[in-house]
């Protein structure tokens, strides 16, 4: 039954794509021969919105397909070096201009979740959505206490829609890894599993509220980033109430320039915020598309970022952070041998790989981009080279870093839009060097000792007892070892005796056969046969009672 549902869903996706004429994207590719097949199985040869441009048709199709596909479009909208401008402009509308659901449905969800009428909680509630996205939509409101807030409401039945799409993704991932070595190398199943867990967290607004509070705490009193306050008394799994913010959308570059914003400073601060979240806090906003980022332009020379929608957050452990930092610095220093060694040390590349050969491949991929601005760099070509290198050396995709990779795409896309001359490497290098000094220098050692010292003092009185217990346990283990050693010695002696017994038995049987042959061959003289029989008996007796060995 599940397979039938999956097939039906796949046909539905195909029907939607063909109806919007998106099969035309296959024409310039080796898969062009599949167009007639796709049309045949769509059972619909009439295009929807056939008079509209391809970018708009793609946007409409993604909206119809649902939230997972909308998020794919959001990411592609930031990659203007990979996506044609007409398509990127349309996909950018997916960031906060998805068709809203009815105001009556939103009102019902809020009242059901809060267990009260809107009038009992809000002095004013705007039923027209302020913005609408793939998972939820937001409404402006005023609390009874006078605070201006926005109310985020989860789309009705969104969990069921996501489950359906993710089920399809899991099936496709299983199929891909079964028949494709490339899919196994990319660990598609693990990537989908990680994405599944991420979306599961995103559709619980209590988790988003907790993420928002955590990020706000990390940047408390910061001039770089402001995060709105969460009103926990009015937050539930399907409803979240947060402080209303005022700022300029970061995607509105013309307006930012009109307001006199220092665009270089804005771009530099964006890079610093990203690396601060990753390396200082191990907690970073992983959905940094322009619809979720605003700018406070009160001080145009020192613009402050404002972040909303913390449903998708990434974390890294200490090993991942240290590995990434060393890789970045090696990359900045053009130390390609160190990059190759780090990949082997981390287990991403097999130990038997040729370091010089891998180093040469990395150099060929990275060297062309140095000394160029973002506007001059073809990151599409650069990424293709890296993927070719990955296939050549069987590099493993790390699912725990998928969110970080996605966020890096967003950061690069924003940097390109804000300040094309930004030297991303030059901006990040001083920060990473400072972070590494703080992690492995004398100050870091002192801070670690200072942190651990109270715990050491607490455990100090227990040390003699622990030592005695360990010594006693070691003595018991040694006794067991001696006993085991004796058993092994006895077993070895037993094997020696058994081997001797087998040899004696074989010799005894051999002399018995010889005795029989002698008796048959010279019947008039039975003494040789009797002698052989006596020797046979001696060996057979020895086989039954083998001599003990010391």
**Residues marked as catalytic:** 287
Please calculate the CA angle 144-150-155 and round it to the nearest 5 degrees. Answer: 120
The label of the residue with tokens 């909208």 reads 77
Q: Which of 118, 136, 117, 116 is nearest to 126 (CA)?
A: 118
Question: What gap in Å lies between CA 208 and CA 285, rounded to an integer?
Answer: 11
**What size, in residues, is the chain?**
550
Q: Give the H or E element holding residue 305.
A: strand 304-307
Q: Which structure tokens are listed for 332? A: 């900045």
The label of the residue with tokens 């907690």 reads 283
Question: What gap in Å lies between CA 177 and CA 188, rounded to an integer?
Answer: 7
3-class DSSP assignment, residue 140: strand
Q: Which of 403, 454, 336, 468 is nearest to 194 (CA)?
A: 403
- Are 173 and 188 spatial neighbours (Cβ–Cβ below 8 Å)? yes
- Are 234 and 114 spatial neighbours (Cβ–Cβ below 8 Å)? yes
Q: Which residues contact 156 (CB under 8 A, 6 or more apart)?
A: 101, 105, 109
DSSP assignments along 333-384, one per residue? TT-HHHHHHHHHHTTSS-TTS-HHHHHHHHHHHHGGGTT--GGG--HHHHHH
Q: Which structure tokens are listed for 290? A: 């322009």
Question: What gap in Å lies between CA 20 and CA 46, rounded to an integer?
Answer: 9
Centre a 10 Å sphere on the Cβ of residue 448 and count the other Cβ atoms it contains. Answer: 11
Q: What is the CA radius of gyration of the chain?
A: 36
- Are 23 and 47 spatial neighbours (Cβ–Cβ below 8 Å)? no
CB < 8 Å & 24+ apart, contacts of 375-379: 375/416, 375/420, 375/421, 378/81, 379/81, 379/82, 379/412
Q: Which residues contact 6 (CB under 8 A, 6 or more apart)?
A: 167, 168, 171
Q: Which structure tokens are listed for 196? A: 């599944």
């Amino acid at each position: 039954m599940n397979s039938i549902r999956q097939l039906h869903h796949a046909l539905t996706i195909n029907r939607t794509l063909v109806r919007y004429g998106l099969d035309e994207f296959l024409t310039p590719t080796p898969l062009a021969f599949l167009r007639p097949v796709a049309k045949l199985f769509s059972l619909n040869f009439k295009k929807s919105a056939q008079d509209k441009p391809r970018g708009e048709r793609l946007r409409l199709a993604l909206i119809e397909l649902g939230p997972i596909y909308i998020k794919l479009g959001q990411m592609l909208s930031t990659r203007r070096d990979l996506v044609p401008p007409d398509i990127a402009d349309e996909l950018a509308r997916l960031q906060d201009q998805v068709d809203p659901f009815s105001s009556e449905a939103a009102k019902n969800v809020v009242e059901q979740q809060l267990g009260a009428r809107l009038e009992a909680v809000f002095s004013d509630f705007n039923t027209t959505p302020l913005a609408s996205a793939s998972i939820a939509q937001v409404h402006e409101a005023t609390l009874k206490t006078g605070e201006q807030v926005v109310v985020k409401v989860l789309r009705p039945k969104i969990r069921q829609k996501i489950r359906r799409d993710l089920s399809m993704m899991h099936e496709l991932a299983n199929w891909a890894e079964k028949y494709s070595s490339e899919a196994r190398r990319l660990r598609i199943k693990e990537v989908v599993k990680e994405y599944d867990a991420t979306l599961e967290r995103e559709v619980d607004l209590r988790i988003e509220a907790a993420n928002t509070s955590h990020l706000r705490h990390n940047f408390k009193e910061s001039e770089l980033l402001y995060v709105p306050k969460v009103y926990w008394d009015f937050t539930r799994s399907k409803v979240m109430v947060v402080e209303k913010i005022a700022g300029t959308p970061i995607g509105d570059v013309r307006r930012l320039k009109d307001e006199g914003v220092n665009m270089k400073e804005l771009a530099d601060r964006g890079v610093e915020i990203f690396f601060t979240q990753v390396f200082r806090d191990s907690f970073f906003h992983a959905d940094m598309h322009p619809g979720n980022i605003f700018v406070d332009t009160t001080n145009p020379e020192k613009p402050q970022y404002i972040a909303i929608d913390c449903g998708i957050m990434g974390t890294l452990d200490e090993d991942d952070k240290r590995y990434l930092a060393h890789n970045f610095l090696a990359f900045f220093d053009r130390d390609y041998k160190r990059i190759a060694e780090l990949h082997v040390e981390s287990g991403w590349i097999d130990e038997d790989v040729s370091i010089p050969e891998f180093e040469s491949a990395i150099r060929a991929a990275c060297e062309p981009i140095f000394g160029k601005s973002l506007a001059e760099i073809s990151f599409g070509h650069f990424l293709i080279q890296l993927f070719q290198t990955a296939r050549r050396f069987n590099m493993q995709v790390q699912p725990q870093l998928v969110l970080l990779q996605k966020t890096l795409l967003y950061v690069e896309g924003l940097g390109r839009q804000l300040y094309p001359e930004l030297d991303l490497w030059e901006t990040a290098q001083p920060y990473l060097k400072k972070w590494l000094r703080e992690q492995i220098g004398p100050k870091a050692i002192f801070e670690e000792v200072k942190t651990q010292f109270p715990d050491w003092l607490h455990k100090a009185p227990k040390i003699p007892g622990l030592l005695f217990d360990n010594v006693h346990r070691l003595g018991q283990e040694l006794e067991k070892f001696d006993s085991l050693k004796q058993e092994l010695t006895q077993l070895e002696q037993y094997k020696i005796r058994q081997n001797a017994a087998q040899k004696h038995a074989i010799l005894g049987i051999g002399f018995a056969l010889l005795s029989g042959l002698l008796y048959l061959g010279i019947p008039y003289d039975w003494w040789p046969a009797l002698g052989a029989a006596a020797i046979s008996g001696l060996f057979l007796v020895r086989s039954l009672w083998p001599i003990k060995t010391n």
